[in-house]
Structure 1
Amino acid sequence: MRAYLYVAVILLVIFGGISGYLYNKFSAFASMDFSPPPATVAVATARADTWPSLLEAVGTIRAVRGANLAAETSGEVTDISVVSGQEVAAGQLLLTLNDSLEQASRGRAEANLVLAQQLYERDESLIKQKSIPQSQFDRSKADLDIAIASIAEIEAQLDNKRIVAPFAGRVGIIEVKTGDYISSGTSITTLQDLSALEIDFSVPARHFPDLRPGLVISVRTASSERAFSATLKAVDSAVDTGTRNLALKAALNESEGILPGMFAQLEIDLGQPREVITLPETAVTYSLQGDTVYVVSDQGEGLQVMPRVVASGEVRDGRIAIRSGVELGERIVSAGQNKLYRGAPVVLEENPAAFTQ
């Protein structure tokens, strides 16, 4: 019996020791802080900026003087006096059609004119002497007028056989060859004066009160990374009933490196600067819940962040306008958001550039 008592005492001591050891261990674990360490973030202050009011649009560049040249009459091409892409002067001959028939007609008409002139001069002297009746003199004068008109008519037909440049510019691709027979209206080539270009575009009609000739426009094309300057020249007097858009025309202030027909992206400065609250573009996180920023606040025991849904606006030069959700002067996380959650403790990075390295 006494042996059983010894065994029970020994077991009690063993289990008591184990229980005490485990109690001390769990007490130590319970007193430990398992919360994650503060996240290092970069912070920016919401500031007020003055931004111009811009209206975006797209348009097509055209030459102020540009034409598709076509033949007014039919005939065989006998001579092409220019090559594709050539610069030409106003009135320069571009193409000639077969005019042999018209040349023959002009020779006959010139002979008739000489005869009519002689008869008129003879009858003019005779009428002064009253040697012929007035009717004969009137007939001679009418014949002379008819002969002069015939010459003018044939000259006009000859002019139609010659295609000349209506203004100075650059010839496009010539679409016909010597020996081709072309009909009236057949396209021959294009002629563009590249020294003066304009842009045709349209905007929704609701913007009409803000539009007026003289507004400055920034123009970008796919052919260049630079922005070109233009000036709003005209606003249409009626709205398109099909699209409810208002047509506008702008004059490019420079045309080097631009061709008619190019697509252009436009930013129209409406001349109405406005105050906006802005943040670095990197401060806004985009998600299904909406555009979110992390606002930094001091809770006494350290800095914490809280997510906040905001209404964001346009982006310019790396900064984004905040229409609502952020107050002026608030501190917003601008880098390091991927480690954050509601109420997360943070410390501020002294060198924000470290996030880009």
Structure 2
Amino acid sequence: MRAYLTVAVLLLVIFGGISGYLYNKFSILAGTDFTPPPVTVAVATAREESWPSTLRAVGTLRAARGVNLATETAGEIIAIDIESGQRVEAGQLLLTLNDSIEQASRQRARANLVLAQQLYQRDASLIEQQSIPQSQYDRSRADLDAAIASLAEIEAQLDNKRIVAPFAGTVGIIEVKRGDYIQTGTPISTLQDLSELEVNFSVPARHFPQLRAGLPVSVQTASSERSFSATLQAIDVTVDPGTRNLALRASLPGSDALLPGMFAQLVIDLQQASQVVTLPETAVSYSIQGDTVFVVEEDEQGLLVTPRVVQTGEVRAGRIAIRSGLQAGERVASVGQNKLYRGARIVAETSPAAFTQ
């Protein structure tokens, strides 16, 4: 009996010690603060700015004066008086087709014209003396007119055998060579006046009230990091019924960095300033739920953040326009948002430099 009593006392002591230990541990855990520590983030203030109103578009460069050279008649090429890439002046001879038949016809036409002039002059003097009938004089006059017209026709045929530059410019790659027999309309080369260029592009028709000739346009291409200044030159008078777009044309001086056919990105300055709320571009988090910013709020315990969906606009110089969802003067987290959640406590850092290390 005494042994059982001893065992019971020992068990009571053991379990009592364990219970006391566990009670002490749970008391300590119950008093521990498991709240996550504040997150250090950069904070920026939304501000209202005056931004110039702009309109973006894409277009294609072309020369203000540019043509594809081709012949109006068939024939064998007997002379090419230029080289690919050569600068030519207006009226300069570029190419000649075989014109031996036309040259012979011109000689005959000139001889017929000389004879017709002599007969007409003789009959003109005789008609004054009333030595010949009026019908003979009229026939001489008609023969002279026919001879003049025949020579003019031959001269026109000869002109068709020669390709001359319609304006000053630069010749492209010549696609034919001497001795080739070419048909009417066969492409020969291109002639481009690179001193003045144009950009053809289109914008949605809803922007028509804001557009007018003379607006400044900035042009950029993949061939250069420079921006080229252009001027809105013309606005079409109809809207494309298929796309509902309005065709526009801008003009700009030529440059060594620009060629006809290049793809161009354009920004039209509408010269109408608008007030917008802006933030650093890094303050906006993008997700399928929408564009979100973490707005900084303050209570008796300090600073905390609340996510808010906003509607964003264009980006300029590292700042993004906020169309709705945020007011000027509100503060948002601009760097370090990946650590944040609704109600997270933060420590505000005014400069984002510490987050770039």
Deviation (angstroms), 1:242: 2.5
What are the Cα deviations for residues 117-143 of structure 1, in whole angstroms up to 9, with x where unaligned? 333333334344444333333333332
Q: Distance in 2 between the 1:191 and 1:305 partners?
A: 64
User: Corresponding residue for 1:184?
Assistant: 184
Q: Distance in 2 between the 1:325 and 1:129 partners?
A: 105
Q: Distance in 2 between the 1:350 and 1:65 partners?
A: 56
The answer to whether structure 1 residue 12 and structure 2 residue 7 are counterparts is no
2:44–2:350 CA contact under 8 A, matched in 1:
no
1:229–1:254 CA contact under 8 A, matched in 2:
no
User: Corresponding residue for 1:74?
Assistant: 74
User: Corresponding residue for 2:230?
Assistant: 230
Instruction: State the secondary structure of the residue aligned to 2:224.
Output: coil
1:197–1:252 CA contact under 8 A, matched in 2:
yes
Query: Counterparts in 2 of 1:1-357, with a 5 A limit?
Result: 1-357=1-357
> Match of 2:85, as an amino acid?
G
> Match of 1:27, as an amino acid?
S
Q: Distance in 1 between the 2:243 and 2:20 partners?
A: 85
Gaps of 5+ in 1: none
- Length, aligned pairs only: 357
What are the Cα deviations for residues 7-49 of structure 1, in whole angstroms up to 9, with x where unaligned? 3333323322222122112211221222222111111100111
Q: Distance in 2 between the 1:260 and 1:77 partners?
A: 28
Q: Distance in 1 between the 2:348 and 2:242 partners?
A: 56
1:228–1:254 CA contact under 8 A, matched in 2:
no
What are the Cα deviations for residues 129-179 of structure 1, in whole angstroms up to 9, with x where unaligned? 444333333333332222222222111111110000000011112111111
Identity percentage over the alignment? Answer: 74
Q: Distance in 1 between the 2:303 and 2:241 partners?
A: 58
Q: Distance in 2 between the 1:311 and 1:236 partners?
A: 33
CA RMSD of aligned residues (A): 1.7
Q: Distance in 2 between the 1:270 and 1:4 partners?
A: 102
Deviation (angstroms), 1:280: 0.8
Q: Distance in 2 between the 1:303 and 1:228 partners?
A: 48
What are the Cα deviations for residues 268-297 of structure 1, in whole angstroms up to 9, with x where unaligned? 122221100011111111112111111111
Deviation (angstroms), 1:350: 4.9
Instruction: State the secondary structure of the residue aligned to 2:138.
Output: helix
1:116–1:140 CA contact under 8 A, matched in 2:
yes
1:57–1:265 CA contact under 8 A, matched in 2:
yes
Deviation (angstroms), 1:104: 0.6
Using a 3 Å threshold, how does the CA distance of structure 1 residues 346 and 112 change in structure 2: closer, same or farther? same
Instruction: State the secondary structure of the residue aligned to 2:272.
Output: coil
2:205–2:244 CA contact under 8 A, matched in 1:
yes
Instruction: State the secondary structure of the residue aligned to 1:179.
Output: coil
TM-score (norm 2): 0.95
Q: Distance in 2 between the 1:15 and 1:239 partners?
A: 92
After TM superposition, the structure 1 stretch with the greater mean CA deviation from structure 2, 241-250 or 291-300, is 241-250
Instruction: State the secondary structure of the residue aligned to 1:64.
Output: strand
Q: Distance in 1 between the 2:276 and 2:333 partners?
A: 19
> Match of 1:311, as an amino acid?
Q
> Match of 1:132, as an amino acid?
I
1:73–1:160 CA contact under 8 A, matched in 2:
yes
> Match of 1:347, as an amino acid?
V
Instruction: State the secondary structure of the residue aligned to 2:5.
Output: helix
Runs of 4+ in 1 over 4 A off after TM superposition: none
After TM superposition, the structure 1 stretch with the greater mean CA deviation from structure 2, 160-169 or 78-87, is 78-87
Instruction: State the secondary structure of the residue aligned to 1:193.
Output: strand
> Match of 2:150, as an amino acid?
S
1:231–1:253 CA contact under 8 A, matched in 2:
no
Using a 3 Å threshold, how does the CA distance of structure 1 residues 316 and 254 change in structure 2: closer, same or farther? farther
Q: Distance in 2 between the 1:351 and 1:199 partners?
A: 44
Instruction: State the secondary structure of the residue aligned to 2:329.
Output: coil
Higher strand residue share: 2
TM-score (norm 1): 0.95
Instruction: State the secondary structure of the residue aligned to 1:293.
Output: strand
